[in-house]
Amino acid sequence: MFSSGVSGPAKLQAVTTLVNKLTEDLKSKSLSPEERDKALEELKVYGRDPRNADPIFTEEGIETLTKHAFDSSSETTSRNALRVLCNAMLLKPETRQRFVDLGYEFKACEKLKNDNWDDEFLATRVIFFSTYGTSVDLSKLIDEYQLADSIVKNLSRHATRISEHAKNKTKADPMELMALGETLRLLFNVTSKCPSKTDSFTAAVPHIVTLLLSLDIPPKGTPPLEAPLGPLVNATMNLKLDDEETRSCLYPKDAPSSLTEKLITLLDLSLKAYSDQELDATVTPLVCLISSIYEYAPADSPVCDTIRKSLLPSEEERTKVLGKGDTLPGRLLVSMTNPIAPEFARAVSHLLFNVSDKDAHKFVENIGYGYASGFLFQNNIPIPEGLGGDDEKGESSKAGQSSKRAVNPITGQFLDAETFPDMPEMTMEEKEREAERLFVLFERAKKLGIVNSNPVEQAVQGGRFEELPDDYEEDSD
């Protein structure tokens, strides 16, 4: 294996010589297959560091690599050139448009049809880089060069192979998993940047589900959404999950909750494994997928019950103020107000609102007004009436099972489990100041539209406030 030991002007001269040699070879076939592959191998090593490797990234350099990659009759030469090309497109964004200008995207799509992990990985990577900052016509690649069909076919191949590995308890080839990861990233990018063609990829959903169910959850100490599990989840973000054929694989008759349970396990592990800074980019798609699975579940499916039981606070948790425990529901509630991960917080709020059947009253009942109020206000959803009234205490509700124990509608805690600090009773002067403060706070909330009326004002109008004379003195024991 070639190892570069040169730098500076010497490296630049070596790279220039190699690019010139490979360019001339395209015209005159001056190199033997061995010499050609050796030159590409050396160029790959030099190209890992773009300093003093400028000839690789020029228009002439990219054209030379592209033609060796897609016009060569030798599979070895083609793959060697593709490796250098991929690295160039990774390191220097301007090379991506240079590749597109050559019009070789269709040949990359053709190479995707090869039943070979290396070809799939390399060709997919070239197309993937072409989706960033270029004029590539993705619709044309889908309609005329079967890009969607090739992606779906490759995912089918992966699903078959990996399910066999799971059945036989054998390990997949690392190159196979790398190829799968690249295909999934390309699927996500294409469906994001060309939404009009999303339906062309719907057939990928059953294969994605098979892969999600077949792949093991990573061992402890390994990020739970490490590739390919994370890319599998991300790949579903733009796909149609409410299609009839899609629903049959999301909720299989023999084990309708199997996928849901796997995703909830991944969510539980992810909340423990990832920092707040990682939640938005890494875990948000998982929350969105669970939310979609709940929303599109058939009416008679046990999936909804499984999600409610897993994500909503249990009666045991209601013996304390909600969000204080280390359970999955508790961590989700805390995440709703996480300022460091706003996208994740929004996704969790929408998920719990969906699980509450998009009913504001159920939402408050399930998680407490303290957590629900921000989401309801931000989404212009009317606040349920009757919260906090003495005659309208909430009742706990989880997974369709209600408890007759009264619940504090603000904290979600059972009223009979509430504890209060042992403090001396307030003086009348303190009570008066507190009433005035509450009156002002509720007036502000009323102006903002958070509440419809001021309960302090109502109490005064209802005769529940007594005006005391200035010379009033409290009785002392």
- The residue-averaged pLDDT of 308-331 equals 81
DSSP one-letter string for 403-459: EEEEE-TTT--BGGG------PPPPHHHHHHHHHHHHHHHHHHHHHTS-SS-HHHHH
Check pLDDT > 50 for residue 365: yes
- The residue-averaged pLDDT of 54-66 equals 98
- Give the C-alpha separation, 267 to 457, whole Å: 46
pLDDT of 170 reads 92
Check pLDDT > 70 for residue 278: yes
Q: Which amino acid appears at position 241 of this protein?
A: L
Report the sign of the C-alpha dihedral through residues 278, 282, 285, 289, in that order. Answer: negative
What is the token pair recorded at 26?
A: 């395209």
Instruction: Provide the percentage of residues in the chain whose pLDDT is more than 70.
Output: 86
Confidence band of 464 (pLDDT split at 50, 70, 90): low
- DSSP reduced 3-state for 174: helix
Confidence band of 282 (pLDDT split at 50, 70, 90): very high
- The residue-averaged pLDDT of 13-18 equals 97
- The residue-averaged pLDDT of 246-275 equals 94
pLDDT of 210 reads 97
Q: How far is CA 356 from CA 142, 307, 337, 410, 465, in A?
A: 39, 11, 18, 16, 38
- DSSP reduced 3-state for 107: helix
Check pLDDT > 60 for residue 475: no
What is the token pair recorded at 107?
A: 């040949």
Q: What is the rounded average pLDDT for all residues in the chain?
A: 88
Confidence band of 392 (pLDDT split at 50, 70, 90): very low
Long-range contacts of 352-356 (CB under 8 A, 24+ apart): 352/311, 352/312, 354/291, 354/294, 354/295, 355/294, 355/304, 355/307, 355/308, 355/311, 355/312
pTM attached to this predicted model: 0.82
Check pLDDT > 90 for residue 209: yes
pLDDT of 390 reads 41
Confidence band of 400 (pLDDT split at 50, 70, 90): very low
407 phi and psi angles, rounded to 5 deg: -125, 140
- The residue-averaged pLDDT of 162-188 equals 95
Confidence band of 387 (pLDDT split at 50, 70, 90): low
Check pLDDT > 80 for residue 394: no
What lies within 8 Å, CB to CB, of 337 at 6+ separation is 345, 371, 374
- The residue-averaged pLDDT of 75-92 equals 98
The answer to whether residues 411 and 333 touch, using CB atoms and an 8 Å cutoff, is no
Residue 401 pairs in a beta bridge with 398
pLDDT of 401 reads 43
Instruction: Provide the percentage of residues in the chain whose pLDDT is more than 90.
Output: 66
264 phi and psi angles, rounded to 5 deg: -65, -40
pLDDT of 408 reads 61
In the chain, count H helices and then E strands.
24, 2
